[in-house]
Amino acid sequence: DGSTAAPDYTTTLTTGAGYSVPLPAVDGYYPVSSSGSPISSLGGTMPDQDVEISVRYVANAPAPVPPNL
């Protein structure tokens, strides 16, 4: 729905520094990459310009309801 799931994370890194940021847990949702695959952290090497990354969370699938026999 576009609402904020967790507070922003901000840090200062030097060019070429490696980074790994764990993603916060959000009840009922899980974070996904741009391709839609589940992820648990973001990482890489800091380029020579500022970087802003947004993370999308999708709702967990509802638990299946057993048939009423």
Q: 29-56, pLDDT tens digit by residue?
A: 999 988 889 999 999 999 999 988 888 8
* 54, HSE (Cβ side, Cα atoms, 13 Å): 5
Quick one: pLDDT at residue 37? 92
pLDDT, tens only, 59-68: 998 878 888 8
Cα(53)–Cα(64) distance, integer angstroms:
34
Q: Which two tokens stand for residue 41?
A: 């952290």
Token pair of 19 as six digits: 């980074």
Spatial separation of the C-alpha atoms in residues 69 and 58, rounded to whole Å: 32
| 3 pLDDT above the threshold of 80 | no
Both structure tokens of 28: 């009922």
